[in-house]
Chain A
Amino acid sequence: MKLAIAFILAPVFVAADSRVREVLDDHILPRFAALSVATSALADAQNCDIMDKWNTAAAAWIAVSHLRFGPSEAENRAFALAFWPDPRGSTPKSLVDLLADDDPVIVDASVAGRGFYAMEFLLFDLAFSEANGRCDLVAALARDAHTTVQEIEKDWQNRYAELMRNTGNDTYRNDTEALQELYKSLTSGLDFTASMRLGRPLGTFDRPRPLRAEMRRSAQSLNNIAVSLRSLEELAFILSADEPDAAIGIKFNEAMSAWNSVELLEGSDDLSVVTVHTSRLKVETLQQRIFDIRVFLSENLGPELGVIEGFNSLDGD
């Protein structure tokens, strides 16, 4: 009798798309595990001389920052880890409030005062270097971030990975829907890196905005572009597995070589080079190469996964 049941159920599992499994096992789960290790080191630090540990953890976040669905979206977790862009300057304001509080409850604080970007202010911004209670707040924010990361990681392990592995549930009716979700995170990751991480500091030719660069205080702005591209390339390769596509690799390589020519420039770390006319062109080229990847995917990989990007469905208004 047991055998018979196993026989009947078997085909259901065989049908699972191996790409979803690979994205989970080779991209999502290990990258969140790496983030968890990095925030654990931050949370366990005995002093606040933790710039290197912060750099590692922030980069680990950038590498999963495109996975904005499921566990990251639940309970506003991603916002609590990463409040950026911040056009109103809410993060320093929230930090001033938190520093004024003798015993702040971080989990109840505004998300603007939590997470990696808030810690960056405390660790790297001169305005906070002499602030009373700075080290205590750094430690509290580090523990809070680690708790949030652990929640995301556990949610992936205990709940969400299973929803994607064994589709046919309310969240993903079939494997195609799971693949489409992953594809969407790939393209929105590319959009965010091109439009926000590069677009914000680029501003316009007449008015570049170097102070709007992501993580410019820690000089990670340019590095974040590379971290993001490598992670997105990893995801793109797995998703295109049915049709091994050297062309995707070529597109990412073109973007990376554009990145290399920016990196050679003086002052490229924090992207302040956007104010120098000749250098700026190289940053614009990098941005264009990322948009090229995006267009290539929507014309090639997207249709193969059954994603037709509609005029209205993409609009979001």
Chain B
Amino acid sequence: MPSRRGFLIGFMATGLAPLPTWADAGDPSFLSAARTPGGNYVLVGLDDAGAERFRIPLPARGHAAAAHPLRPEAVAFARRPGTFAVVLDCRSGDVLAKLNCPKGRHFYGHGTFDRLGDMLFTTENDYHSMRGCIGIWDARRGYIRIGEIASHGVGPHDLRLMPDGTLVVANGGIDTHPASGREKLNIPTMRPNLAYISVDGFLLDQVEPSHHHASVRHLSVRPDGLVGVAMQWQGEVTSAPALVATHLRGEDMRAIGDGSGLNGYVGSIAFSGDGSRLAITSPRAGVAQVFDTTTGFVAFCVHEADICGVAAWSSGMIFTSGQGTVFDLVKGKRANAMHDLMWDNHLVKIKHA
């Protein structure tokens, strides 16, 4: 637990009252990167109904975003192997800070704040030594880089904050190098893992998926610490095992589903608002599978072309697609909102304080 004193200092560092909040940015509930019909890239704030609350231009195609837990600030990451991320004031669209990777590093496209928004953690590739690392940036002081810790694996992609303030990292296991773009360099020998790391870099727990070709890629964390794990298959598609799992620290990974009907590829994962369901999307198969977290059985399947983004919404979940739709399961297939935007991979929930 951060001390009350730390909490207050964090607040004061943001400037004097009145402190801006997400309400000042139109009270959005979600963030998503998107492409406009004109081919430009933007970061968009969406409300609970799927309507747009703000739109900020991005310099290139984004991937995921991180929302500050208190202030209306979003960090938009370039798609890998990008070396930039921008911190945006969601009220004005102003760029508050630019995060530049140190030499020999690039971003993987995901990042997360700590609970009070003092520090930002980013997944990065230390490509000369073929190891993953987590960059640490001080969000109280203009997002300067204050250090880095090992990700305890190769190719860290998504990372999340655990309820106890530690980090959980999806080490995809795949080695890439900027000199060969997005080409995968070590498929025969890849070793993905799920790593629990303290913010000072200690490895607390680590598990590997049952097959080393299942690249651990995206995560969702339930308030009780159950981690939803989404994987991408690097072997022959027909032999794909289960690509979804849940994990509780100290236990084995529990496989969910059978890996069929996903084209070997899961794009996003999220627990439902009430935690009873776990949803995954496969844009390649044009499908979302929603599992009952307790039984592990499929509760729903939703077919939607280019579906990818998913986030907790009310007690259930809400989805976005590359065709511009925003929809939930309550209304069935009828879209909550339709946009002339191509929603990019991830729909990021803003956790209102």
Contacts and interface: CB of A to CB of B under 8 A. Distances in A.
Majority-rule SS of A interface residues: loop
A312 B185 contact: no
B180 A312 contact: no
Contacts of B250: none
A315 B109 CA distance: 12
Nearest to A70: B236
A11 interface: no
B177 A88 contact: yes
Interface of B: 35, 63, 79-80, 109, 130, 157, 177-183, 185, 187-189, 217, 235-239, 260, 265, 267, 283-284, 286, 305-308, 321-323, 342-345
A200 interface: yes
Given A87-B185, A196-B180, A311 B286 contact: no
A317 B185 contact: no
Nearest 6 pairs between A and B by C-beta?
A310-B306, A311-B322, A312-B283, A87-B177, A312-B308, A85-B180
A310 B237 CA distance: 19
A288 interface: no
Nearest to A209: B179
A311 B309 CA distance: 12
A312 B321 CA distance: 8
Contact of B79 (A76, A196, A317): A317
17 contacts: A70-B236, A73-B235, A76-B188, A79-B187, A85-B185, A86-B180, A87-B177, A88-B130, A110-B189, A170-B260, A200-B180, A212-B179, A312-B267, A312-B307, A315-B283, A315-B345, A316-B265
Contacts of B306: 308, 310-313
Contacts of A110: 189
B284 A313 contact: yes
A199 B182 CA distance: 13
Nearest to B284: A313
B238 A85 contact: no
B168 to A, nearest CB: 19
Contacts of B188: 76, 79-80, 111
Nearest to B179: A87
Contact of A171 (B157, B182, B238, B342): B238
A69 interface: yes
Given A88-B185, A212-B179, A313 B286 contact: yes
B308 A316 contact: no
